[in-house]
Structure 1
Amino acid sequence: MAGKKPTRDLIGIIWQNFWRSLQPRQFRGTYIGEDYFGNKYYEIPPNPSLGKRKPSRWFVPAEKDAFDQELTAEWEAWLRGRRDDPPTREELVKNLQIMELKKRNAAELEAHYSKEKDAGALPKQVEGETIGTFPKYKEYEINPGKKPLG
């Protein structure tokens, strides 16, 4: 005999899985960070020896009764596993400043265009149609089954 091939022992596999299930598990996660809404983020790291290949990540909302929680895009990407490292405080502050700058710019543009609208600078209707609508031709039906215009 050259050597025995290892075989799968079904009862042995069941026993090992049962024994692993009795070992204590980590139920409390490690505190990772907090966002500017007050949500706290936690993680249980992966443990390949127990068959756990991905980390468990979750957050505790600032207000437990509010069902419309807001999450920052950086923390949501970390929660969903699209990024490995949690966002840094500097990254969150920088992106918050960019977001506020965009809001200010949008408000300025809205004020600028509302002045033009009041002044009548926007295009007016041309023969019952506005610019950008689909053209209407006399030989085509508008409502199926009815006679064309003209």
Structure 2
Amino acid sequence: MAKLVQSIKQIFSSSKASESFVKLIGSDRFKNNFYERLPGNRHYNSARRFYEPADYSNVRLSIDPAWEAWLRGTRKNPPTLDETVAHENKRQQLENKSVNMLPTSYGRDAAQGGTGSFPIRDEYEINPGTKSRQKQDPNETY
């Protein structure tokens, strides 16, 4: 009888132990949960990383790049909340930032007086050591 109780106890403890090898690491802004299966299980000798998507219909399109790098193993540590907020702010700034190009020279051929398809910007020199282009016409915008 003691052997029967011991074997039943061992079966239940082994099933609970396999669940304890999976650890919730965090979640991203899309509400995906990221897990790590720790080594020590008889089936896994190394740590395995995986995630559970919030929306199963759109699995691949909604993962933060920092979390994807952690999943692939190119990052050792998972991203922190401060880091993801900083990346999101930087992404929004880049979306809102306008590019200052001269519309008078952009897209014109060199024969028409432009520089080809390369834009001219005030803050950069055209030739090394020379100042940027000066306005020929006072009505010219740049």
* TM-score class normalised by the smaller sequence: 0.5 to 0.7
State the aligned residue count: 100
Structure 1 unaligned blocks of 5 or more: 1-22, 133-150
Q: Find the counterpart in structure 1 of residue 11 from structure 2.
A: none
1:1-29 CA-to-partner distances (Å, cap 9, x unmatched) read xxxxxxxxxxxxxxxxxxxxxx6572572
- TM-score, structure 2 as length reference: 0.56
Indicate the SS of the match to 1:62: coil
Q: What is the CA–CA distance in structure 2 between the aligned matches of 1:56 and 1:102, rounded to whole Å?
A: 34
Question: Structure 2: which amino acid aligns with 1:122?
Answer: Y
C-alpha displacement of 1:67: 4.1
Q: Find the counterpart in structure 2 of residue 15 from structure 1.
A: none
Q: Find the counterpart in structure 1 of residue 25 from structure 2.
A: 32
Closer, same or farther in 2 for the Cα pair 1:44/1:67, shift >3 Å?
Answer: closer
Structure 2 unaligned blocks of 5 or more: 1-13, 118-142
Closer, same or farther in 2 for the Cα pair 1:59/1:122, shift >3 Å?
Answer: same
Partners of 2:32 and 2:53 within 8 A in 1: yes
C-alpha displacement of 1:92: 0.9
1:81-140 CA-to-partner distances (Å, cap 9, x unmatched) read 2222211111111111111112222xx11xx44xx43xx33252356xx947xxxxxxxx
C-alpha displacement of 1:32: 1.2
Query: Percent same amino acid among aligned pairs?
Result: 25
C-alpha displacement of 1:39: 0.8
Say whether 1:55 aligns with 2:26.
Answer: no
* Bigger Cα Rg: 1
- TM-score, structure 1 as length reference: 0.54
Indicate the SS of the match to 2:82: helix
